[in-house]
Amino acid sequence: MIVLKGKDIYGKEREYEFEDEVERIRLAHESLAKINLTPLGKVRKIRKLNLEYNKLKDINLTQLSKCEDFEALHLSENELKKINLQPLSACKKLRWLDVSYNPLNEIDLTPLAECKELKRLGINQVNLKEIDLEPLAESRKLESLSFEDNYIKKVDLKPLEKCTKLRFLSMSFNRIEKIDLAPLANCKELSYLGIGNGKVKIEWEGEKIREEEIPKGMEYYKEKIIEKWKESKK
């Protein structure tokens, strides 16, 4: 038996007991202000941890580096001002990470370069002014990526060239002025692409592809893409 100890927003001590072989822990909507995850270092079979909809201001993920089968971490809707993802670099089976709706201001995705099984990543409304997608360059199983509602002005999608399984990509409600969509040419399964309002200038700096090969998710921007192709011939 392991015991996770924490404290709620009212200052009351909270304890949660789980079997040693527990695979999923859900502590969402518990009004937690603090949680000590140290005991998780002994739970090698844990696969999912859900701490959504709490009031956590900080969290130490160190012990997750010992959880070889860990697959999903949900931290959205908290009050996290910073988060160190380094321990997740040891979680080779990580498939889903969501840190949306936290006042982070910045986040280093570098540790995710080791998470080759990553399929879903959510970084919505965390007050980002910039984002570096390079750590996702080898995330060939990535299916969903969303960093909506931030303050990002510039995004380089080139690191996503090899993410051919990508189906959902949303960067709406940012401050993006222009964006090159050419890196997404090989994302044939892309069914949704959210960029934002019509003021975003669409660029295409890569090789031209046949019109019928334009991914479904990019059809809304098809006319602008073709227009760019025509301009390149002049």
Convert the pLDDT of each residue in 100-156 to its tens digit.
Answer: 999 999 999 999 999 999 999 999 999 999 999 999 999 999 999 999 999 999 999
Convert the pLDDT of each residue in 46-86 to its tens digit.
Answer: 999 999 999 999 999 999 999 999 999 999 999 999 999 99
Would you say residue 230 has pLDDT above 90? no
130: domain range? 2-233
* Domain count of the fold of the chain: 1
Mean pLDDT of the chain: 96
Would you say residue 197 has pLDDT above 80? no
Helix (H, G, I), strand (E, B) or coil at 45: coil
State the CATH number of the domain containing residue 25: 3.80.10.10
User: DSSP letter string over 62-128?
Assistant: GGGGG-TT--EEE--SS--S----GGGGG-TT--EEE--SS--S----GGGGG-TT--EEE--SS--
- 233 pLDDT tier (thresholds 50, 70, 90): low
